Structure 1
Amino acid sequence: MEKEKLWTKDFISITSINFFLMLTFYLLMVTISVFASEHFGANESTSGLASSIFVIGALFGRILGGKYINSFGRKKILLLGIFIMIISSIIYFIPGGLSLLMANRVLHGFGFGIAGTATGTIVAQVIPSSRNGEGIGYFALSMTLATAIGPFIGIFILENFHFNAIFVFCLICIVISLILSILIHVQEIKLTPDQLAEMNGFKLSNFIERKSVPITLIATVTAFCYSGVLSFLTFYAKENHVTEAAAYFFVVYAAAILVSRPFTGRQFDLKGPNFVMYPAIICLLLGLFILSQSETGLVLLVAGALLGIGYGTYMSSAQAVAISVAPPHRVGLATSTFFILTDIGLGIGPFIQGLFIPSVGYNGLYVILGICAILCLPLQHFLYGKNTPKKEKY
């Protein structure tokens, strides 16, 4: 039997749109704090807030995007989010104070949350059902590549050009996304009167897809564990004198996902989610434990590869499951539910973990996070795995 075609024009377009939007997100996350410090004299705490306050806007964007994506239209929601991001990108050029920067970061995050919910919903529609795991895996790879390329480009521009060049680059990326969004074909879902009635009002079920919560809760724990790597790796590498290797950590992380993705995505579809999700959790916890003992650059990079295979594979698989268990007219809600909860895990992780660092150090922190990752194994079994056949049609 011939495989259904995955790499269609629409799949390539929506994956590219997602890549360019994520690229601007990660690029600004690592540079905007420097902008706040140099241009407004902000202290470390306030500079950090200028970076992280983006997540608050994204959270509200995902909540509203998930609720209205079908009634308003998937393509219209995508275009709305991108238009808001373009407006925000222009505001960065306007001279103003720190308050304007903070407000604009929230606006930028709001647009990003709306657009991100739309891309995650649209991609589920254009992927053939028989290649769902593989397709979501490649779509998630666009985010992974952005995590490696975005910070690299941001730091390069920061060191070689004026800061406005960063805003110009981001604006160009978002305009490219806009052009691709206009050209993409999106098949809208028409809601029945009963479905429209179900989606009316402000009850919790209109903002959260209940069927997607169990697998998303596990993904949230893994995101909490990984947030410690994102936030404290630089400090840890400096303490252990492996800063040169740390510069390549996320490159190795992305390369490991790139190499493993064709295998893991295909096995997800052939043998079911559990076949790849349990090994992914094991790779994640091994990566954290090895990271805790990274006194040489080679060990640090081995940890990066394991974390790439573990965290990268688990998150893309969990996203595929979260979408597949939802009814077709609630795929948008399932997408926003997944990202709302995992964003919370990424957001609160550094704050909570930072409270323990003075007592246990960075080595101890990664040991604790490795133990947290072990807990994902029974969570996976009881919240999802035990109720799932060995092989499923996705």
Structure 2
Amino acid sequence: MEEKLFNKGFISITIINFIVYLVYYLLMVIIAVIAHDQLNASFAEAGFASGIYIIGTLLARLIMGKQLELWGRKFVVRAGAIFYLVTTIAYLFIPSISVMYLIRLLNGFAYGMTSTAANAIVTAYIPERKKGEGINYYGLSTSLAAAIGPFIGLILLSTTNFDFIVIFSSILILLSTIAIFSIKITNIKLTDEHKESLKKWTFSSFVESKALFIAAIGFLMGLSYSSVLSFLSSYAEEINLVSISSFFFVVYALVVTLTRPMSGRIFDLKGENYVMYPSYIFLALGLLVLAATTDGIVLLVAGAFIGLGYGTFMSNGQAIVLKLVASHRIGIALSTYFIGLDLGLGVGPYVLGDLHAILGFRQLYIVCAIIPVICAILYALFYRPKYVDTKVM
């Protein structure tokens, strides 16, 4: 493995990951509108068409975390990319909402399969002494996609049609698929003992127990952050800040882009506590500022704090997971971690939607600000860096 962080493999898989996530966010932001307007779905049905994607993603992470090293990283990422391409093209052939449910489920599975494999593959291109920095740079591809994808999706929705958007997305995935077949991917060599342990249908063959705590924290952080993803537009409309609210995620992305490399270096030099505690504090502050927002500048300040909070946590939580396990368990460990994050983001809108009916938006954001504080307390009580596995990854 090269000692230089920005080697060809690292750059290639980071760009591929950016495209995979870009298409995910691009379609996620428009699919409910398409279901409602073109397939005459009710708002509840349209919401389910959006959310069933997450079910497919979770299934893929659970299954592929186990199978990744058994089948080989090369096969899984290539098969996943092809399946992602085919199921994206399938959006061109949707006669009814029930067919859309099926395609969304399969497309979510393909996305989960590809992204899970990419998350494991990139670790082989990162020098051991730069794990934190490398994962944070790699994580930028996800954060930028989360900001750029919805922006492109909404622009294309207002200026073109759904068929054009699907074709555009398919071309992007085709390019990433070609790139996946072009880069060198090395499979992990498993011992007979490791193969047997992965083949067993046991809890440990699907879930990495060493990653469960960080995954649980990820669930709570995702739950808290989902209040922003799901309700910011409605909240901005309520407080008459719709025009400036479109820049919220731009500020979020800019802050993450500027700070992630630094947080990665701090992680490597000082340890995870020096970045994890600030991430809890900044997310709580950001949500409190959001709850108190009365003008556009304050709203953007909230976006900056939330970027420092959730954006920092997401990558560094992944870096912690890499420290906890040996190489043959990386796939399962990363799958466990991202299942926690995805569940939080998926469950959040339903749970917090019911809570909003009782409290209103400002009080809802105050409640959500308490969750990162709880995460900090749990982290202080139960996470012990000294228990990190020191086996060579």
1:78 and 1:181 in contact (8 A); partners too: yes
Q: Which residue of 2 aligns with 1:97?
A: 96
Q: CA deviation at 1:340?
A: 1.0
Structure 1 CA distance for aligned equivalents of residues 276 and 192 of structure 2: 38
1:85 and 1:111 in contact (8 A); partners too: yes
Q: CA deviation at 1:201?
A: 2.4
Q: Which residue of 1 aligns with 2:20?
A: 21
Q: Deviations over 1:222-246 (max 9, x none)?
A: 1110001100001111111111111
Q: Deviations over 1:277-332 (max 9, x none)?
A: 11111111100111101111111100000000111011100011112211110100
Structure 2 CA distance for aligned equivalents of residues 240 and 312 of structure 1: 25
Structure 1 CA distance for aligned equivalents of residues 196 and 54 of structure 2: 31
Residues 368-383 of structure 1: pairs in structure 2 closer than 5 A: 368-383=367-382
Residues 150-229 of structure 1: pairs in structure 2 closer than 5 A: 150-229=149-228
Structure 2 CA distance for aligned equivalents of residues 162 and 29 of structure 1: 15
Structure 2 CA distance for aligned equivalents of residues 204 and 386 of structure 1: 24
Structure 2 CA distance for aligned equivalents of residues 16 and 124 of structure 1: 15
Q: Which residue of 1 aligns with 2:275?
A: 276
Q: CA deviation at 1:34?
A: 1.2
Structure 2 counterpart SS, 1:53: helix
Q: Which residue of 1 aligns with 2:36?
A: 37
1:215 and 1:383 in contact (8 A); partners too: no
Residues 36-55 of structure 1: pairs in structure 2 closer than 5 A: 36-55=35-54
Q: Which residue of 1 aligns with 2:114?
A: 115
The answer to whether residue 292 in structure 2 is matched with residue 293 in structure 1 is: yes
In structure 1, give the amino acid aligned to 2:377: P
**Which 5+ residue runs of structure 1 have no aligned equivalent?**
none
Structure 2 counterpart SS, 1:92: helix
In structure 2, give the amino acid aligned to 1:315: M
Structure 1 counterpart SS, 2:321: helix
Q: What TM-score do the two structures reach when normalised by structure 1?
A: 0.96
Q: Deviations over 1:48-90 (max 9, x none)?
A: 1111110111111111111111111101100111111111112
Q: Deviations over 1:363-392 (max 9, x none)?
A: 000000111111111111122157469xxx
Q: Which residue of 1 aligns with 2:331?
A: 332
Q: Deviations over 1:193-229 (max 9, x none)?
A: 1111111221111100111111221121111100011
1:28 and 1:51 in contact (8 A); partners too: no
Structure 2 counterpart SS, 1:257: helix
Q: Deviations over 1:164-221 (max 9, x none)?
A: 1110111011111101101111121111111111112211111001111112211211
Distance 1:233 1:219, change over 3 A: same
Q: CA deviation at 1:342?
A: 1.1
Higher deviation after alignment, 65-74 or 93-102:
93-102
Q: Which residue of 1 aligns with 2:239?
A: 240
2:94 and 2:100 in contact (8 A); partners too: no
Q: CA deviation at 1:156?
A: 0.6
Structure 2 CA distance for aligned equivalents of residues 166 and 382 of structure 1: 48
After the TM superposition, which segments of 4 or more aligned residues of structure 1 sit over 2 Å from their partners?
385-389
Q: Which residue of 2 aligns with 1:255?
A: 254
Q: Which residue of 1 aligns with 2:304?
A: 305
- Aligned-pair identity in percent equals 41
Structure 1 CA distance for aligned equivalents of residues 36 and 359 of structure 2: 30
Aligned residues: 390
Structure 1 counterpart SS, 2:228: helix
Q: Which residue of 2 aligns with 1:75?
A: 74
Structure 1 CA distance for aligned equivalents of residues 160 and 113 of structure 2: 31
In structure 1, give the amino acid aligned to 2:285: L
Structure 1 CA distance for aligned equivalents of residues 63 and 175 of structure 2: 24
Q: Which residue of 2 aligns with 1:341?
A: 340
Q: Which residue of 2 aligns with 1:64?
A: 63
Q: CA deviation at 1:98?
A: 1.4
Structure 1 CA distance for aligned equivalents of residues 204 and 137 of structure 2: 30
**Which 5+ residue runs of structure 2 have no aligned equivalent?**
none
Q: CA deviation at 1:16?
A: 0.7
Structure 1 CA distance for aligned equivalents of residues 227 and 182 of structure 2: 39
2:291 and 2:363 in contact (8 A); partners too: yes
Structure 1 CA distance for aligned equivalents of residues 310 and 255 of structure 2: 11
In structure 1, give the amino acid aligned to 2:206: F
In structure 1, give the amino acid aligned to 2:183: I
Structure 1 CA distance for aligned equivalents of residues 140 and 331 of structure 2: 20
